[in-house]
Amino acid sequence: MTTSPKTLSDWFDDFDREAFRLETLDDYSKSGGVDAYRAFLAGEPQPEGYGTAGWVTTVGNAVRSGKRIYRVHILARPLTDYLRFELAWGYHRNMAAGEEFFILDTTEQENPIPDAPDFWLFDERVVSAMKYDGHGAYLGSDFLEEDQLTRFLAYRDTAMAQAVPFPEWWAKYGD
């Protein structure tokens, strides 16, 4: 069900203040950056162009114009190979462009929002619920009706209240 005439891509160009992402999966390996993931697993250097990927440009442009892009990843240790890649290469690359990351580590606590799906929230008014298959492949997103907004704002607020900034978490648990 969609409530937006815009695509998810359009919203990254058109949001006014902030874009928030909740990540809940341990594997997004079939959703992009496949060559970089393979290089990471093989112990090779980052592929040429990885540091200047389209997302880095999107984030940089938004942040330079005064917008905020931030996310919380709910995870538990030990990290999967994919999460080690995403945090070591992807998060560090995207932070350099201005994206903010937070970790809600459920290794020693229960997940406070176990029913929350992956989603993007734009300007606290538009929710796009993300869909993935069981192998980390992105299947698309659904823009949700306005009556769902309160629930997704609560997911965001709960995640942010219990998450720690990624640099702090990485200093303690990173590779």
- Residues with Cβ within 8 Å of 86's Cβ and at least 6 positions away in sequence, in order, are 28, 73
Residues 119-153 have pLDDT tens digits of 999 999 999 999 999 888 999 999 999 999 999 99
Mean pLDDT of the chain: 94
pLDDT at position 6: 86
**pLDDT band of 5, cuts 50, 70, 90:** confident
Distance of CA 80 to the CA centre of its chain: 16
Q: What is the pLDDT of residues 99-116, one digit of tens each?
A: 999 999 999 999 999 999
Q: What is the pLDDT of residues 85-94, one digit of tens each?
A: 999 999 999 9
> In whole angstroms, what separates CA 159 from the centre of its chain?
13
What is the pTM for the complete model shown?
Answer: 0.94
